[in-house]
Amino acid sequence: MGVELATESGLVLELSWATPGREEGLALALGRGENRASSDLIDYEDVGGVQDWSSVLGYFVEEVAVAFYVHDEGSSVRPWSFRIGVSNGSSVTVALGETSDHSIRYLPDNLVVIFGEATARNYEVSDSLQSAWGETVIYAE
């Protein structure tokens, strides 16, 4: 399960649920689309016509942020949310969780996509060091 974001240049950012042993988190991988393995287990969905996605598609990436948490006492710090901000001021956040009754709840083996800043800032999980909005690690104008 994951979300792949592809660029016109052929770079693909893959965000997926990662479970190295007991330590769950969000895995991040960056690579070339043509080098990606095809699988019958993966369903690809073009979101170009989906209204929420249209707010971030076709714009330059200006900001990247990540949020971390400690899954269990004695575990390493793991990413649980990743946000991309684009040149029109919009952003998309991919985090561990699911939607239920119009709200987001933590479920580590699912991913939720968030388009609103307020929603991302208000979504927190126990033992998180930041909300899903995260802390900026790359900022370019």
pLDDT tens-digit readout, 56-79:
999 999 999 999 988 777 777 889
Which residues is 133 bridged to in the sheet? Answer: none
Prediction pTM value: 0.85
Contact by Cβ (8 Å): 65, 82: yes
- Please tell me the predicted confidence (pLDDT) of residue 17: 79
d(CA 33, CA 9): 9
- Please tell me the predicted confidence (pLDDT) of residue 137: 92
d(CA 83, CA 94): 6
